């Protein structure tokens, strides 16, 4: 039954009472504690509520069957031989055999049990506080007295497990024994009567076991072949029959009741059915019913899990996906308590569910297959559009490597710019950042580097820019600009389907930039303040489920310089410093401040070897978290008595990577046939801010033709 997981979770059956209605129990056996001083005393695990329900003067076993069944439920665990399923459970024994019947060894003799005696045993188990009662007996359908006892027991939430019968090789074996079938189908069963069938260790139904038949919905199986247990003389025997499937299921009920005291009897039954191994035809079938008992699955979270003390759903896969600026950020322990759909508490380690995004390819849309760009304009108004072939539609896309050849063009980017009088300019862009528009309005031409990009012109993480608008007002040598940009942050999707994990999940962002620029002779300088608001992400990272959705507001200070030296030489540089305030809006309570930075520096020359050629070299660090993270409060312990968190721990989600990506790029272009050929060589150290990753080296050659 895969019970090891139950034991590793602390399941022993301690303090749980199990009723056993059978032929009694060996009072001299040490398997149930020291009962020499009488039942219910000292270490004896046989309750004083035990009775001789059939009229015998003692509960001491005469036939051996009752002792073997009781041992299968609760035989001691002493590192020798075998032990019972719930080895610390207490037993309420009801000896219900008719006096003298077990002593009759004739062909027609053997233990017999009357319904009224069984009913008395059920009543004793109910009043004695049993959570589950095992009845490894069979025969005719229960009489009225027994049906009432069953109803009284189930009304008290007691689970009753009855063996299915051992007539599987006979025609009547297609359905459960009438005794079990009648009890499970009665109005008083309330879904708390389980019929126990038998399988072997290979999960094949035992030849002797009655099939599920008409009782399929309440039929559960466990191993009933060659079960090792002592008889009334403490001799080890190998027992076979559904009589020994039933006590394994009853012991499983005791383990669950002890390990998860919040569970009702109905919930335990539902849990056993939900976690059973499906055998035979898919779903509930007439041979195997619900399938085979599996305690490993029963002691694992079932259904949706949520962080204890909150409504935040904890994913079994990804609860946070970090972004590029966070690289290889390492996490310390983030242990927490989660509740499953049965409100059972389990320990989990959230750090394992925080994934990191690997390095992204950096070749932009300029390398797209068969890309076409054109521009046109009238006085004070210009329109520029970049197109790339697409399959079936025209739509604006974020700059990225293009798609396959087709007959319809897809718009990659578009810009409309113009003047408002003699001092003001405006620009409207699709798939263009606001900072790119303001740089264009200020007349700052940026060198064409492919990998070592200017960090001031990008978010630093994956975004799809929906649209942007910028205006610039000239004030003598000064220029004041205001840009507004909005779009979607693209983050990794939490899905069990690997092919869909990079089908990005979208969430909105807004960016506002106020800039000031001025020319000092051959020096152009720009200073800007940017406010970035993310709706459900943090610098491109997504926190979901139990960790809650993050809302982040970032402030950036950007400085850009470009100096024209002489003879076509120029120097350029940019620097970004950022401070992000983050707060988790659901799930756990938490927040923090994150500091980021980025820089770039380049040198270039026009007409280096010939007229019209251009050379450049740049060093750049893309946006990177320098320090900080999110402090969170994590539930550390759960109290079943109050059904509330009893202790909290402080956790910290570190967002600062160990690695630091630095990009080096050399470019050269020369004119050719009315266009130009450009080549770029690059080296990325610690790509994606991963210290353990080897350097990324590459190059590109582009041909641009005018028409």
- Residues that are catalytic: 22, 65, 243
Pairing between strand 550-564 and 320-321?
unpaired
Residues 389 and 290 in one domain: no
Q: Per the domain annotation, does 669 fall within a domain?
A: yes
In a domain, 530, yes or no: yes
325 lies in a domain?
no
| C-alpha to C-alpha distance for 565 and 555, rounded to whole angstroms | 33
* Domain co-membership, 371 together with 271: no
Q: Would the pTM count as exceeding 0.85?
A: no
Is residue 416 one of the residues assigned to a domain?
Answer: yes
- Do 279 and 385 belong together in one domain? no
pLDDT for the residue 398: 35
113 and 202 together in one domain: yes
Same domain membership, residue 209 and residue 96: yes
Backbone angles phi, psi at 252, to 5 degrees: -65, -40
Give 335's Cβ-side CA count (13 Å radius).
Answer: 10
Report the 10 Å Cβ neighbour count for 199: 22
Cα–chain center distance at 192: 32
- Within a domain: residue 521? yes
Domain boundary among 268, 298, 328: 298
Q: 425 and 573: one domain?
A: yes
CATH number, position 89:
3.40.50.200
| Domain identity same for 648 and 529 | yes
Report if residue 229 sits inside a domain.
yes
> Which residues touch 83 (CB under 8 Å, ≥6 apart)?
75, 76, 77
Candidates 273, 302, 67, 85; CA nearest to 184 is 273
Tokens of 266: 């109905």
Final residue of a domain: which of 257, 278, 298?
298
The CATH number assigned to the domain holding 458 equals 2.40.160
pLDDT digits (tens, 9 = 90+) for 454-463: 998 888 888 8
On whether residue 311 sits in a domain, the answer given is: no
Residue ranges of the chain with per-residue pLDDT less than 50: 365-366, 368-369, 390-410
Domain count for the chain, please give it: 2
221, 141: one domain: yes
Rounded Cα distance, 51 and 70, in Å = 15
90, β-bridge pairs:
17
* CA-based nearest residue to 605, from 575, 572, 574, 573: 572
Residue 406 maps to a domain: yes
Same domain as 411, residue 278? no
pLDDT at 434: 82
pLDDT in tens, 511-569: 999 999 998 888 999 999 999 999 888 999 988 767 777 789 999 999 999 999 888 89
Q: Which residue has the tokens 């946070």?
A: 320
Residues 449 and 374 in one domain: yes
| Domain stop point among 248, 268, 298 | 298
Mark whether 69 and 215 lie in a shared domain. yes
Domain that holds residue 627: 365-704
Distances (CA, A) of 362 to 121, 493, 669, 697: 76, 21, 19, 11
């Amino acid at each position: 039954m895969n019970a090891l997981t139950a034991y590793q979770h602390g399941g022993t059956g301690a303090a749980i009472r199990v009723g056993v209605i059978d032929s009694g129990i060996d009072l001299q056996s040490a398997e149930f504690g020291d009962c020499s001083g009488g039942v219910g005393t000292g270490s004896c695990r046989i309750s004083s509520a035990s009775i001789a329900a059939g009229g015998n003067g003692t509960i001491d076993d005469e036939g051996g069957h009752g002792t073997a069944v009781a041992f299968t439920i609760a035989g001691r665990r002493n590192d020798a031989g075998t032990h019972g399923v719930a080895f610390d459970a207490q037993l309420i024994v009801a000896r219900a055999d008719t006096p003298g019947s077990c002593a009759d060894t004739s062909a027609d003799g053997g233990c017999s049990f009357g319904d009224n005696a069984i009913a008395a045993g059920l009543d004793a188990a109910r009043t004695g506080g049993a959570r589950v009662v095992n009845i490894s007996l069979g025969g005719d359908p229960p009489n009225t007295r027994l049906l009432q006892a069953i109803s009284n027991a189930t009304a008290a939430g007691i689970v009753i497990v009855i063996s299915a019968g051992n007539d599987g090789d006979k025609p009547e074996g297609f359905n459960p024994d009438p005794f079990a079938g009648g009890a499970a189908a009665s109005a008083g069963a309330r879904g708390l009567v389980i019929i126990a069938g038998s399988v072997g260790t290979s999960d094949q139904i035992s030849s002797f076991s009655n099939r599920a038949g008409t009782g399929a919905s309440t039929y559960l199986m466990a191993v009933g072949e060659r079960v090792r247990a002592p008889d009334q003389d403490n001799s080890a025997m190998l027992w076979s029959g559904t009589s020994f499937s039933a006590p394994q299921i009853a012991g499983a009920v005791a383990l669950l009741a002890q390990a998860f005291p919040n569970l009702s009897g109905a919930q335990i039954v539902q849990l056993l059915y939900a976690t059973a191994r499906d055998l035979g035809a898919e779903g509930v079938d007439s041979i195997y019913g619900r399938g085979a008992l599996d305690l490993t699955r029963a002691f694992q979270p079932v259904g949706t899990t949520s962080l204890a003390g909150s409504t935040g759903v904890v994913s079994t896969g990804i609860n946070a996906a970090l972004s590029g600026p966070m690289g290889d950020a390492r996490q310390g322990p983030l242990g927490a308590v989660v509740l499953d759909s049965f409100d059972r508490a389990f320990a989990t380690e959230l750090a394992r569910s925080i994934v990191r995004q690997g390095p992204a390819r950096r070749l932009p849309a300029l390398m797209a297959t068969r890309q076409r760009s054109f521009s046109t304009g009238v006085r004070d108004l210009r329109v520029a559009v970049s197109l790339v072939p697409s399959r079936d539609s025209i739509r604006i896309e974020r700059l990225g490597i293009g798609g396959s050849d087709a007959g319809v063009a897809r718009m990659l980017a578009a810009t409309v710019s113009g003047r408002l009088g003699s001092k003001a300019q405006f620009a409207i862009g699709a798939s263009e950042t606001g900072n790119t528009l303001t740089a264009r309005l200020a007349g700052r031409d940026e060198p064409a580097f492919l990998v070592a990009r200017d960090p001031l012109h990008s978010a630093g993480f994956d975004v799809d820019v929906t649209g942007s608008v910028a205006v610039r007002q000239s004030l003598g040598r000064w220029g004041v600009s205001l840009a507004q940009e909005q779009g979607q942050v693209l983050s990794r999707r939490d899905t069990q389907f690997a092919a869909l994990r990079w089908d990005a999940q979208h969430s909105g962002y807004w960016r506002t930039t106020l800039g000031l620029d001025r020319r000092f002779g051959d020096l152009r300088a720009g200073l800007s303040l940017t406010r970035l608001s993310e709706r459900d992400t943090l610098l491109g990272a997504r926190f979901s489920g139990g960790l809650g959705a993050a809302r982040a507001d970032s402030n950036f200070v950007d400085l850009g310089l470009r100096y024209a030296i002489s003879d076509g030489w120029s120097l350029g540089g940019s620097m970004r410093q950022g401070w992000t305030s983050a707060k988790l809006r659901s799930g756990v309570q938490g927040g923090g401040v994150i500091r980021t930075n980025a820089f770039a520096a380049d040198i270039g020359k026009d007409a280096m070897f010939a007229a019209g050629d251009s050379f450049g070299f740049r060093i750049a660090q893309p946006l990177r978290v320098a320090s900080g993270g999110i402090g969170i409060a994590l539930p550390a312990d759960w109290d079943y008595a109050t059904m509330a968190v009893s202790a909290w721990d402080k956790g910290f989600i570190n967002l600062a990577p160990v690695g630091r990506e630095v990009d080096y790029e050399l470019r050269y272009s020369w004119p050719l046939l009315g266009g130009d050929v450009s080549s770029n060589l690059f080296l990325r150290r610690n790509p994606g801010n991963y210290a353990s990753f080897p350097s990324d080296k590459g190059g590109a050659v582009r041909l641009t033709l005018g028409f």
